[in-house]
A and B are shown apart, each in its own frame.
Chain A
Amino acid sequence: DGPERLKAFYQNTVGLKAQFKQTVSDAQGRKVQEVTGDMQLQRPGKFRWDYQKPYVQQIVGDGQKVWLYDPELNQVTVRSLSKAIGSSPAAMLAGSKEMEKSFALQDGGNQGGLEWVKATPREKESGFEQIMIGFKGDQLAQMELLDSFGHRTLIEFSQIERNPTLAAQAFRFVPPAGADVVGE
């Protein structure tokens, strides 16, 4: 079932590289945002999401901290990974132990040819009511996030490479000169 898939994913997927499309719709189902980019992850706790279109944004987890960089805003927002786990699906995908601590896992059944696991955040402030992760076999395919305002974020992964060789450089973040670095 779903939780088994997720555990298998954590066991046999130490690294991952994929493209993603993130589509956000509001409570009335109207599409409010569509952003594409590519992502990488390296267990434990390392990940990188490069949003490319329509705007550039980077979210980098270096194992201790999560860096969020918006070049046009010229701002870097930094959070500790442990604090980010409950609210950042990217961190959730990259960490297995913290996952159990921060989320209650249930089988989400089969839909759209995928096997789903339902992850409900244990503490309220995560900002998400529910996170669903969909697998094709034991390959990550989709994530769906529902927030407390009824917004639904669907993330569809494609061109997935499992356990590729990844440059350690990809998971290091150095704030560009002149950028405002702000803690959260």
Chain B
Amino acid sequence: CTTTPSRPVANEEVHRQHLASLQTLQAFDLKGRIGVQTQKQGFSGGFTWNHQPATDQVALFSPLGSQVATIDKDPGGVTLVTSDQKTLRAQDAETLTEQNLGWRLPMQGLHDWALGRPTAAPHEAIWDEQGRLTRLKQDGWDIEYSQYQRVGQYDLPHKIYMKSLQLNLKLIVERWNIDDSNDTSALQSKP
């Protein structure tokens, strides 16, 4: 695998500053489209995702707007509800989606990656002149960030292509709603 090409140190500083600017982001709500590809099958359609520090709510939609599935994560585990109203539960999203949808949703690191920042695990990164990630290799994933969009004071990804041996995920974020108030009381009041 490629080592990080030599970059002027200042650039590293710019990258560090960009990541620091994302530090305050603990919760978000996004709407967009998702493309899922495994060796055998694929899906493409709409998706919404509400992320809070302790919970995640993901919904998948067909092109006709009908809901195909919901994936809800809380400290106790993850629940998947499918369009034929089957409810399935597991300890984590990875095993749950693999058993029922045939592909592993990497929920663990996904919210950091969606924001354009690595998790704490070892990783390799390439960034652009504004310090924004353009390529991130971490936890067996090779993630490309091809477009960013300005959301308030933040630069957040618009188009993300995540590749792993088993699964490719393409995300297009049509709309970000950012909730970066630090005091958790504000978060609690969220419905």
Q: Hey, which bits of chain A sit against chain B, CB under 8 A?
A: 22, 24, 32-33, 35, 51, 54-55, 57, 59, 68, 70, 72-75, 77, 87-89, 124-125, 127-128, 145, 147-149, 151, 153, 180, 182-184
Q: Is B50 located at the chain interface by the 8 A CB criterion? A: no
Question: Once bound together, how far apart are the Cα atoms of A73 and B85, in whole Å?
Answer: 28
Complex contact B35–A73 (CB within 8 A): yes
Contact, CB under 8 Å: A145 / B66: yes
Query: With A75-B35, A182-B42 in contact, is A151–B66 under 8 Å at CB?
Result: yes
Given contacts A75-B42, A148-B83, A184-B42, 16 further A-B contacts (CB under 8 A): A24-B61, A55-B174, A59-B63, A68-B44, A70-B33, A72-B33, A73-B44, A87-B62, A88-B64, A124-B85, A127-B62, A145-B66, A147-B67, A148-B84, A149-B70, A153-B66
Q: A75-B42, A182-B37 are in contact. Are A127 and B170 (CB under 8 A)?
A: no
The answer on a CB contact under 8 Å between B64 and A75 is no
Q: Name the residue of chain B whose CB is nearest to the CB of A143.
A: B64
Which chain A residue shows the least CB distance to B64? A153
Q: How many residues of B contact A (CB 8 A)?
A: 29
Write the nearest CB–CB distance from A181 to chain B, whole angstroms.
8
Q: Which residue of B lies closest to A180 (CB)?
A: B37
Report the separation of the CA atoms of residues A45 and B66 in the bound assembly, to the nearest whole angstrom: 22
Q: Which residues of B contact A51 (CB under 8 A)?
A: 63
Is the CB–CB distance between A77 and B42 below 8 Å? yes
List the A side residues contacting B85 at CB < 8 Å. 124, 148
Interface, chain B (partner A; CB < 8 A): 33-35, 37, 40-44, 46, 59, 61-68, 70, 81, 83-85, 159, 168, 170, 172, 174
Provided the pairs A124-B84, A125-B83, A148-B83 are in contact, do residues A70 and B35 lie with their beta carbons within 8 angstroms? yes
Measured in the bound complex, the distance between the Cα atoms of B70 and A11 in whole Å is 40
How far, in angstroms, from A70 to B32 measured CA to CA in the complex? 12
Contacts of B172 in A (CB 8 A): 72-73
Contacts of B59 in A (CB 8 A): 149
Interface of B is mostly: strand
Supposing A73-B172, A149-B83 touch, asked if A184 and B66 sit within 8 A by C-beta, the answer is no
Q: Is the beta-carbon distance between A180 and B64 smaller than 8 angstroms? A: no
What residue of chain A has the Cβ atom nearest to residue B62's Cβ?
Answer: A127
Q: Cβ of B170: which chain A residues have Cβ within 8 Å of it?
A: 73-75
Q: Could you tell me the distance between the alpha carbons of A127 and B43 in the complex, rounded to whole angstroms?
A: 14
Are the CB atoms of A127 and B37 closer together than 8 Å? no
Given contacts A75-B35, A182-B41, A183-B42, contact A125 B67 (CB under 8 A): no
Collect the chain B residues with CB atoms within 8 Å of residue A68's CB. Answer: 44, 63
Residues of B within 8 Å of A75, CB to CB, are 35, 37, 42, 44, 170
How many Å from the CB of A59 to the closest CB on chain B?
6
Known contacts A73-B172, A184-B43; A22 and B84 CB within 8 A of each other: no
User: Could you pull out 15 A-B pairs where Cβ atoms are within 8 angstroms?
Assistant: A68-B63, A70-B35, A73-B35, A73-B172, A74-B170, A75-B37, A75-B42, A88-B64, A125-B83, A148-B85, A151-B67, A153-B64, A180-B168, A182-B37, A184-B42
